[in-house]
Chains A and B, each alone.
Chain A
Amino acid sequence: MAIDFSDISSIIGGFDKILNLSSVGGSPPIPTLLILVGVPLRSGLSPTKIASRIISRKSEAGLPVGALPSGGASPDEIMERIRIEEIINALQQDVIISVAIPPGTTITAAGISAAGPVSVFGSTIMPTKGYGVIQ
Chain B
Amino acid sequence: MGLIDDKKNVFTTIGAYTSLNNGGKLPTTTNTFTSVNNKNEIIPLLLDVLKIVVGSEALQELTGQLFTNLVDKIEPDLKTGIKKQNIQSNSGDNLPTWFVSNGVSVPVKNIDVNGKLKTNPNSNSGSLLYDKSTPNFDSTAYQAIQNSGTDTTFGNMTINYNSNTDSFIYKPTNPNQTIGDFTNGFVDSITVINKKEFMSNVMNQFYGSISNDQNKTADQLAQELQISKLIEQVVNGDNSFTILPSDLDAILTKANDLANGSVNYDMGCGIITANLPLSGLTNVIASISGSTDPTFIGNQLNNTIDSSSNSPDTTTENKQTIKDGFFQTLINLIKTTLAQAVSTTPQIRTILAIVSAFQNNGITKIGNPIDDLKNFSIFINCNVNTAMKLINEFIYNLIITFLIALLQPIIKTIVKEKINQYINILKSLVSI
Contact = CB atoms under 8 A, between A and B. Distances in A.
Interface string A23-34: 011111010001
A5 B392 contact: yes
A25 B428 contact: no
A39 B392 contact: no
A34 B407 contact: no
Nearest to A40: B429
A41 B414 CA distance: 29
B429 A39 contact: yes
A8 B425 contact: no
Contacts, number: 69
Interface stretch (B274-282, B362-370, B371-379, B416-424): B416-424
A129 B415 CA distance: 31
Chain B, interface SS category: helix
A89 B49 CA distance: 42
Interface in A32-48: 34-35, 37-39, 41-42
B411 A21 contact: yes
Contact of A6 (B388, B404, B418, B422): B388
Contacts of A37: 429
Nearest to B427: A38
A30 B425 contact: yes
Nearest to B416: A25
B54 interface: no
Contacts of A38: 428-431
B40 A8 contact: yes
A44 to B, nearest CB: 12
Interface residue tally on B, bucketed by range? 20 to 34
B393 interface: yes
Interface residues of A, number: 24
B403 A21 contact: no
B430 A34 contact: yes
A15 interface: yes
Highest count of chain B CB atoms <10 Å: which of A3, A11, A12, A27: A11
B42 interface: yes
Given A6-B389, A18-B400, A24 B414 contact: yes
B283 to A, nearest CB: 35
Chain A, interface SS category: helix
A6 B40 CA distance: 10
B241 interface: no
Given A5-B392, A15-B399, A30-B422, 16 more contacts: A5-B42, A5-B388, A6-B42, A6-B385, A11-B392, A14-B400, A21-B410, A24-B411, A25-B415, A27-B422, A30-B426, A38-B428, A38-B429, A41-B431, A42-B428, A42-B429
Contacts of B415: 24-25
Contacts of B40: 8
A25 B392 contact: no
Nearest to B422: A27
A30 B425 CA distance: 9
B66 interface: no
Contacts of A26: 418
B81 to A, nearest CB: 12
B412 to A, nearest CB: 9
B429 A15 contact: no
A27 B421 contact: yes
Nearest to B35: A8
Nearest to B388: A6
B200 to A, nearest CB: 27
Nearest to B417: A25
Contacts of B431: 38, 41
A76 B60 CA distance: 48
B46 interface: yes
Contacts of A3: 393, 396
Contacts of A12: 45
Nearest to A3: B396
Interface in B31-56: 40-42, 45-46, 49
A53 to B, nearest CB: 14
Contacts of A14: 396, 400
Contacts of B407: 18-19, 21
Q: Which 8 A-B pairs have the closest CB atoms?
A: A38-B429, A25-B418, A5-B392, A5-B389, A5-B393, A25-B414, A34-B429, A6-B389
